[in-house]
Amino acid sequence: MSKRILLEVAYDGTNYHGWQLQPNASSIEAVLNEHLSALLKEDIKVIGASRTDAGVHAKGNIAVFDTNARIPAEKISYALNQRLPEDIVIRQSREVDPDFHPRRQKSVKHYSYQIWHDRFPMPIGQNYMLFLYIPLDIDKMQQAASYLIGEHDFTSFCSIHTEVVDKVRTILSITVEEQDSVLKIDVTGTGFLYNMVRIIAGTLLEVGKGTYPPEHLKEILEARDRALAGPTVPAKGLTLVSYSFERM
């Protein structure tokens, strides 16, 4: 009797070409499939919740897979962590309903974008922060962020390289805070489009620099035109902090 197992997965994305399987490049998905298959002696294929891009990190991405193996679900994390490389860690494993699909359940995702905001780069943790030295008005960035909260058509904040048609998503909160030269943009929402968090961060940074006022975010949203929003900031500053479901 097959059962469905959920994994909570943390990884340092620096050395991977993202989550998703692809030819001739290492991906988190490929590494999980390989080590799960070896551990469980079955051909395992995981389904990921967030297919993070190359260089993006995660403290709590989610994957599920089906297995006939008799190992207790909770023990899979321990056994798999013995095999995985140091930059991928399973934080928990447990059985879920056989119809549980991580991208079809109602969920809340929390992403954090970090910027080292100082005169020179910071060597400690430089794989996890974008370096930027330019005056920024944090209050204006926070004010701009408020226009994005709620349900909107986020076409302007979505990479044009996507096939998704419905671009309405809901953002629950955005906070912009700087402490000890680390500027953090935290975004939570129930769904995100391709590159959406990185384009939001890039647009808030434009407001911070004074390129346009906070109110301009309303026009960018309404235009539904990717060209009007700010640049897609580099992947390495982005971490998927958590992915939580209404029901498990």
Q: Are strands 57-67 and 150-153 parallel, antiparallel or unpaired?
A: unpaired
Nearest approach in angstroms of CB 71 to a copy of itself is 17
**CA atoms in the 13 A half-sphere facing the CB of 90:** 25
For a copy of itself (CB under 8 A), the number of binding residues is 25
Neighbours of 91 (CB within 10 A): 14
133 binds a copy of itself (CB under 8 A): no
Q: Looking at the chain, which runs of residues are DSSP E strands?
A: 3-11, 47-48, 57-67, 88-96, 107-117, 130-132, 150-153, 168-179, 182-189, 238-245
Closest distance to a copy of itself from the beta carbon of 13 (Å): 9
Which residues within the stretch 41-100 sit at the binding site for a copy of itself (CB under 8 A)? 57, 59, 77, 81, 86-92
Least Å distance between CB 16 and a copy of itself? 11
Rounded CA separation 245/104 (Å): 10
User: What residues are labeled active site?
Assistant: 53
**Which CB sits closer to a copy of itself, 88 or 148?**
88
Cα–Cα dist 144/35, whole Å = 44
Residues in 113-132 at the binding interface with a copy of itself, rule: CB under 8 A: 118-126, 128
Name the minimum Å distance from CB 12 to a copy of itself. Answer: 4
Residue closest to 233 by CA, chosen among 190, 185, 175: 185
Taking the least distance from each CB to a copy of itself, the nearer of 118 and 178 is: 118
**Binding stretches for a copy of itself (CB under 8 A):** 10-12, 57, 59, 77, 81, 86-92, 118-126, 128, 239
